[in-house]
Amino acid sequence: MSFPVCSICNVPLPHSIEEYAKRQRVTSDCKTYPPGGRVTECVACGAVQKPNDAAWQADCERIYAEYDNYSLSGGVEQSVRGGDRGQDYAPRSNLVLSAYARAFGLPETGWMLDYGCGKGPSTKAADQMLSGWRIDGFDLDRRAEKKLKGIAQFGQLFTGDPAGIPHRYDLIVLMHALEHIPNGSDVLRSLGELLKPNGHIVLQVPNRLQNPYDLLVADHTLHFDRSSLYYIGEKSGLTPMALSENWVAKELSMVLGHGDAVGQPPAVDCPAASQVDWLSSVSKTARDVARHGPFGIFGTSIIGTWLASEIDTTPAFWIDEDTAKQGATIDGAPVVSPEMAPAGSTVILAMAPEIAQSVAARLAHLRLSFVIFPKHQSGSK
C-alpha cells in the first residue's frame, strides 16, 4: 500500500489524527467548509501537514473555483497587529514590507514579483511604499488581471510554470502563499533562480504554535512552526537570513537569500494531536456559551467563521476593529466596532489566546463580558 509523502522530506505519511475529521473546517477566503480531510505529523522532520493526496487536491479544486478573498471588506486586505509589542495595526502586507525595509533596506528603484498575488494586496502595498519600483505578479489564473492592471506600478501577470518567467527580481514576496503549496522547497528553489545576486525572497505564513486554528483551513497543506519553516527554506538551497515572530502577530516571517544565515531554531515539542484536542475543547466551550443566551463574536476572519460554524446558535452581532468591515452583515447579524457593541454583552474572542488576553485588557472599559479560551501549551525540545 502506498502512502502520500511529507511535503518537506518525502518520508511516507501513513497516519492521521482521527479527531480532526470531526471538526468543521474553513477556507482561506473565510467560508465555512464541511468536516473531513487529514492532518498528520511527519515522524522524520516533524512537519505538520495535510497530505497532498487526491482528497486534499479535490478540496482545493472546489475551494479555488469560487475563491474570493477579502470579500467582507470589499477587497481591502485585512488589518492585523504586529511589531515587538503588537503596537502596530495595518494591512498585513504593509507591516511585512515595512519590517523588511527596516531590517534590510530598500533601494529607490527595483523590481518585485508578488508570487500568489491574488487581487494584489501586496502589490498595492508595494505600490504605495516603493514609488520607483516595477511590480509583477504570479498566480494560478488570470481572474484578477483587470484589477491588478489598475495598480499604477503593476507590470505583468504570469501564470503556469514560474520557471518560465523571463525576468530577474530584487525582491520576491510570498504573502500567505507557501502554506498552500505542496513541495514548497522546489518552488522556492525555482524562485531563487529568478533573484538578482543580492535579491531576497520574503515569506509570510501562519504560525501554528501561536495559532492552532490554522489547522482548520482546508486548503492549507503545511502548518509551520519556526523549525519547519527554517528547514524548508534551507532545503531550497537558499539561506534563511531572518526569521521572526514579531513582524505580524501569530505569524512567521522569513527572508531567504545568499547572505549570512540566521541561527537555526530548536525543534518544537507541540504535537499536532494535542492542538486538535485543544480545538475540540474550544468548540465545546463556545457551544456552552451560546446556550446561555445572546452573544457576539469578536473577529470576522477565519477563526470567527469557524467558531460560528461549530455553534448551533447564530451570533447576535460581530465585532471587528477593521473599519473596512464595519457596517457589513454576516447572515443578517451586523458587524460593529467594539464601542458599538451592547454594554454587558457576552463576546467570544475569536483570536489566538495571547492576542485575546491583550484585547480584553485594552477594551476592559467597554463593560463587555469577554470569553477567552485558554492558551494551548507548547514548547521547544
Query: How confident is the model at residue 354, as a pLDDT?
Result: 84
Alpha helices by DSSP H, 27-179: 54-65, 92-104, 121-129, 145-149
d(CA 323, CA 326): 5
Q: Which backbone phi and psi does 343 adopt, to 5 degrees?
A: -55, 140
Mean pLDDT across 163-178 = 96
**Which region, left, alpha or beta, applies to residue 360 given φ > 0 means left and ψ of -120 to 50 means alpha?**
alpha
**Alpha-carbon distances, residue 315 vs 12, 333, 350 (angstroms):** 43, 7, 12
Q: Which backbone phi and psi does 47 adopt, to 5 degrees?
A: -70, 130
Model pLDDT for residues 247-278, shown as the tens digit of each residue: 999 999 999 999 999 999 998 889 999 999 99
Cβ–Cβ < 8 Å for 112, 170:
yes
Query: How confident is the model at residue 380, as a pLDDT?
Result: 42
- Residue 279 grid coordinates: 480545538
Mean pLDDT across 103-116 = 96
- Residue 311 grid coordinates: 455553534
Cβ–Cβ < 8 Å for 376, 274:
yes
Q: Is the pLDDT of residue 85 over 70?
A: no
- Residue 5 grid coordinates: 509523502
User: How many other C-beta atoms lie within 10 A of the C-beta of residue 339?
Assistant: 10
- Nearest in space to 306 (alpha carbons), one of 323, 282, 322, 324: 282
- Only one residue has cell 502589490, namely 123
Q: Is the pLDDT of residue 75 over 90?
A: no
Write the DSSP string, 242-286.
EEESSSSTTEEEEEEESSPPPPPPPPEE--HHHHHHHHHHHHHHH
Model pLDDT for residues 282-333, shown as the tens digit of each residue: 999 999 999 998 999 999 999 999 999 999 899 999 999 999 899 999 999 9
Mean pLDDT across 210-227 = 96
Query: How confident is the model at residue 16, as a pLDDT?
Result: 93
DSSP state of 83: S
The band of 155, judged by pLDDT with boundaries at 50, 70 and 90, is very high
Mean pLDDT across 344-362 = 93
Q: Is the pLDDT of residue 381 over 50?
A: no
Q: Is the pLDDT of residue 379 over 60?
A: no
Q: Round the average pLDDT of the chain to a whole number and report it.
A: 93
Model pLDDT for residues 17-56, shown as the tens digit of each residue: 999 999 999 999 999 999 999 999 999 999 999 999 999 9
